[in-house]
Amino acid sequence: MCSKLQLIEGITDLLSNVLGKDPATTFVIIDEVHTDNWGLNRENITTRRQREAAKNTER
């Protein structure tokens, strides 16, 4: 699993290499959105994951 530090390093490198951004002045903000506040196809992700987990335990 990727750590937050790895994400920050990777995004900084990407912005530096692709856009020529100076890493010393590049801010990376990780904004973790709770799954109740994130939706797909008319339902929140919490509900979707619960449904999928229940489906997998029935097998």
Measured CA to CA, the distance from residue 34 to residue 44 in angstroms comes to 10
Q: For the chain, what percent of residues have pLDDT higher than 70?
A: 98
The answer on pLDDT for 59 being more than 80 is no
28 vs 21: CA distance, rounded Å: 12
Q: Which residue(s) pair with 44 in the sheet? A: 39
Residue 2 pLDDT grade (very low, low, confident, very high; cuts 50, 70, 90)? confident
For residues 5 and 57, the model is more confident at: 5
pTM for this predicted structure? 0.64
Is the torsion defined by CA of 17, 19, 20, 21 positive or negative? Answer: negative
